[in-house]
Structure 1
Amino acid sequence: MLARAVSRRTLLSGLAAFVAPAVSSVGGAQVRLDGGAADSCCQDVSLALVRAICLHCAAYSELRQIARHTAAVVVGRPVTRDEFDRLDAASDLEERLLLALCEHRAANDAERHDKATYLLGIFDGDEPEPQLITAILRSMTQESARVTEP
């Protein structure tokens, strides 16, 4: 049976279910199968990846909340400059954190799985921007160890 893709709504409501297993595996020993290959379900997930995912999820949630508030305001009156600036700043932060997550170089199969699962849920049928695709691909190569231009 094929697993269902994770939607953005599921990600926001189920963040605890994702974070708890990831955090519990941080610092744990890796179990080796087949004479040396580590089982991805037992590999360590770095705090850096967990943090990148959590930061993006929180920023995305905040952006959605601000957007809903701004949309409700639009119905009743014009958006104030302060409200527009707050929405714009939240959008910029979410974009920067998503790019940072895409650029994160996974250290093992468990991190590749968790990063891919989260990003599939974020993109949820939408085609990612070219810069995000480039960041993901660079994170999968040795070039990711070198400093890249913004």
Structure 2
Amino acid sequence: MNHITFARNLVKGKIAETIFAQMLREVGTFTVLEFGYEKIVPELVGEGLKEEKGTLNILRTSPDFAVINKKTKEVRLIEVKYLHTLNNDYVFRYAQRMAESWNPSYLFIATLDGFYFDEVSIICENKGNISPLNHPQIPKDVQENYLKILRDFEGNN
């Protein structure tokens, strides 16, 4: 993979994370906290954490967000991924990797066809099949607005 392709994929991933976080913040039912490896490890290393391979490997797979439902007080650890089109083999492998260290955790996938969301253990049981995002507190019209942003970006690149 060349540097330009890598940079494009990195930007697409950040866009998916931003869309996810803003969509949940817009509905007002969730507190969205950044939680991922990129946020945690620099702070820990700065505090003198010894870079033990086991610990860092677990942290490398840490989900991007901790999301708190303001009504139920449930906390969910959610990894966000961008895929141009849904790929069940990739989703299955990724869910297996997450399940090894972060169970329970959830996977949100942004594609040009829509958003998908499931618990990692369910994705593993279903061999990579992931359900379309169907959440009573995230209306379809809100999802469509954010999907349009993703499509607009992808159409211009």
Assess same fold via TM > 0.5: no
Larger radius of gyration: 1
The structure where helix makes up a greater share of residues is 1
- TM normalised by structure 2 equals 0.30
